[in-house]
Structures are given as C-alpha cells and as structure tokens.
Amino acid sequence: MVGLPAAGKTTRAKELAAAHHALRLTPDHWMIPLFGNAIGDFQRPGGERWVLEGRLISVALQALRLGINVVLDYGLWGRDERSALRWLARSAGAACHVVYLPVDKNVQLARIAHRQETTPHQTFPMSEADVDAWREQFQVPDAAELNGGEIPAPPAGWPDWPEWAADHWPSCTDS
C-alpha cells in the first residue's frame, strides 16, 4: 500500500487481505499500543517507527517464503523504500504489487479531522502543516513501479537492496 495518511490505505488493505487470504501488517496498529500516540519518532530515521516496520518486514518475508500472501499496510512515501521491498519480495519468490491511493488534500484533512474527533486513541495528531510537509516529501509511484517493472539499482553508495533495507529499517533481517 502506498499513500499519505488518510488516503484509504487501511480500508483497501483490509479488502485485499480478505480477497487474497493474506496476512495484513499495519504498523499503526502496533505503534500506539507499544509507544503511545506521540508522533515524535514517526519521521526520525532509526526511530521506533522504522524499527517496528523492519520487524514487520522480516515477518512478511518469512510468511512469503511459507507461501502466505502478505499486504503491507505502510505509507511507503519513498521510491527507494518501494524498490527495496519489491526486491525483497522477489528474492523470497513472491510477486509484488504496488497499490497507490492518491488523496486530495481537502479530503485528507477532513478524514484526519474525523479520525481525531471519533477515535483519538487510535490515531496520531496531524496538523495541516504536517500534511503540507508530508505532501512535499511524498514521491508518487511511477508507471514502472505500478506495473511491476524493473527494479532500479540501489542508491549510490549501497551495494544492494538488502543492505539499504537493513540500514533504513534497523531491525529488518532476512531470516
């Protein structure tokens, strides 16, 4: 799943998981029970979010090797994240499908406000300034990603995608 907060990723991930008898892994469902709803380390590299995502990716890879379908209900804002995961899925012998859900800013803000009003204990605080900053950071998937095309080489300085992934998601192990 690829998209910004309140794009509808979790709703779509639930549908996909049901349709494909898949294990759905959603970091947001773990973050608040484990760390509270402060967003402080949400963006910081090496913060709790990245450690949790790395462990869930490790679980996903184990499941794929067992022949279990997996839906990663992440935001995956960056092309490098998506490329690394596509490579890791293929290395586990699985097909990988990038599902992108765009969202209009006004719709996004309305959904965020609704969440904060109705289920504040299940969401993170998000301001319009946060949303604007995130929209600037987000890299929209290109046609090659969406169509399962060739996976690009890792960024300069990285010998391969597994090493990049282990650095980005500190707890991501391929075992």
Asked whether residue 1 is domain-assigned, the answer is no
Average pLDDT of the residues in 20-28: 94
Asked whether residue 139 is domain-assigned, the answer is yes
Asked whether residue 25 is domain-assigned, the answer is yes
Asked whether residue 84 is domain-assigned, the answer is yes
Question: Each residue of 104-117: pLDDT tens digit?
Answer: 999 999 999 999 99
pLDDT at 29: 85
Asked whether residue 173 is domain-assigned, the answer is no
CATH number at residue 149: 3.40.50.300
Confidence of residue 68 (pLDDT cuts 50, 70, 90): very high
pLDDT at 49 over 80: yes
Split into its structural domains, the chain has a count of 1
DSSP states along the chain: -B--TTSSHHHHHHHHHHHTT-EEE-HHHHHHHHH-S--TTSSSTTSHHHHHHHHHHHHHHHHHHTT--EEE-----SHHHHHHHHHHHHHTT------B----HHHHHHHHHHHHHH-GGGS----HHHHHHHHHH-----HHHHTT-PPPPPPTT-S-HHHHHHHHSTT----
Asked whether residue 138 is domain-assigned, the answer is yes
Domain range enclosing 92: 9-168
Whole-number Å distance between alpha carbons of 134 and 5: 9
User: Of 80, 83, 57, which Cα lies nearest the Cα of 70?
Assistant: 57
Question: Each residue of 2-11: pLDDT tens digit?
Answer: 999 999 999 9
Tokens of 162: 């597994």
Question: Each residue of 118-149: pLDDT tens digit?
Answer: 988 888 889 999 999 999 999 999 999 999 99
pLDDT at 73: 95
Residues in the chain: 175
pLDDT at 41: 44
Asked whether residue 39 is domain-assigned, the answer is yes
pLDDT at 40: 47
pLDDT at 174: 66
- Please enumerate in sequence order all residues whose Cβ is within 8 A of that of 125, keeping only pairs 6 or more positions apart, or say none: 37, 39, 116
